[in-house]
Structure 1
């Protein structure tokens, strides 16, 4: 899976966030969470646009990702890889 980064890419964009769908508040998983759950490779295109702080945050959550909105702990499945381009 591929995701294009910009200087405004944040963790909500990569992990996911809640959105209203009609009258229901639903959580939509971002590419990082989907890749971790599915054991896929995630390629972050234009990763040079990310700040060093943002890269550090992403690196920190690669082993265990806890999503507050869903009370879910995601541990990467076999095959998960993160590639910065």
Structure 2
């Protein structure tokens, strides 16, 4: 009689309890996955898109400024070359 009762307890409580714990664990894992997919990944994607857009704007601004920068550097080199020619032409450096 005790063995039969223990068999029922094992089948009902232990097997049922383990099954219930497994189902609860699966439910929480689905909730965690949905939270990750809909909230975390969505926010991450939006922030990446924003950074990508900002980077494109900065690259475009740099691309537009590049010719001006190169002209300025070229003019500075010409001025330095002229000063050097004048300096050495007058015999300033001995």
TM-score after normalising by structure 2: 0.18
**Highest Rg: 1 or 2?**
2
Which one has the bigger helix percentage?
2
Higher percent of residues as strand? 1
TM-score normalised by structure 1 residue count: 0.19
